[in-house]
Amino acid sequence: MTLSRAATKLRSHLEHLKEEGVREIEASPERVAALRRRLKGLKTAPAVAAPVRREADLDVVAGLAKIAAEIAVCKKCRLCESRTNTVPGQGNTRPEIMFIGEGPGADEDAQGLAFVGRAGQLLTQIIEAMGFTRDEVFIGNVVKCRPPDNRAPMPDEMAACLPYLERQIALLKPKVIVALGATAVKGLFNDPKVQITKIRGRWMKYSGIDTMPTLHPAYLLRNPPAKRDVWEDMKTVLAHLGRPIPSKRN
């Protein structure tokens, strides 16, 4: 089976489910990983839909799957040469918050999922301290392929990849974006001079969406006292969303 035929079959199956009244789809990271293994046999690289949960917006699901399929075969920048898996991002199809990091690391490249390594575990703690689960937000990156040797993505790589993220944001319509780390902010705003410690905690606008720049979880692993700053930023996000602010950080 070809990738395009698989995408057609997926869309037809989703439309059938919609006609049957299905309004919710769940796909755990494990099931997505199993799907990825099955798709390995296709004639082109695998297309992996982001795991989704919550009320049904099958057009968003299909749109995300289409973008993931394009990413899976993308060769628009040199990062395609060393990747194991593409990492389109995953999460809720109608998230209040979309977290955006710079790019996949080794664990993410191996699993095809965003923020699943040590920094990802810390991000999960932050998300849960805010009163959300990972399934209730969307987590992605500026670039969808791992830069070799864990280097930061280069400006031309981020520029090449950004249209995918912009299409994802247009589909997901998050109320708030949280940009994780200097590189993510540089990529989003095409500003190589960003100093994250100077701009963190202050609202910016990306594609018309309120965007909070904050420190990257990997930085927090090296600098635990900086968790306080991130928590202040996340409290600002919660207040902006009209959400209760937990009195204590996890």
The strand pairing partners of 100, in sequence order, are 140, 179
What is the C-alpha separation between 200 and 234, in angstroms, rounded? 11
What does DSSP assign to residue 24? B
What does DSSP assign to residue 43? S
Indicate which single residue of 33, 35, 58, 80 sits in contact with ligand SF4 (rule: CB under 6 A): 80
Helix, strand, or coil (residue 106) = helix
Does residue 143 belong to the site contacting ligand SF4 (CB under 6 A)? yes
CB of 134 to ligand SF4, least distance (A): 22
* Structure tokens, 146: 């791992």
Residue (11 or 78) nearer to ligand SF4, CB = 78
CB of 81 to ligand SF4, least distance (A): 8
* Residues 52 to 71 in contact with ligand SF4, rule: CB under 6 A: 71
Residue (160 or 220) nearer to ligand SF4, CB = 160
What is the C-alpha separation between 50 and 69, in angstroms, rounded? 11
Helices 118-129, 227-241: crossing angle, 10 deg rounding: 40
Which x/- pattern, by CB under 6 A, does the window 158-177 give for ligand SF4?
--xx----------------
Q: Is the separation of the CB atoms in 93 and 54 below 8 Å?
A: yes
* Structure tokens, 237: 């996000």
CB of 88 to ligand SF4, least distance (A): 8
Count of residues interacting with ligand SF4 (CB under 6 A): 14
Does residue 79 belong to the site contacting ligand SF4 (CB under 6 A)? yes
Does residue 233 belong to the site contacting ligand SF4 (CB under 6 A)? no
Positions touching ligand SF4 (CB under 6 A) are 71, 74-77, 79-80, 86, 143-145, 157, 160-161
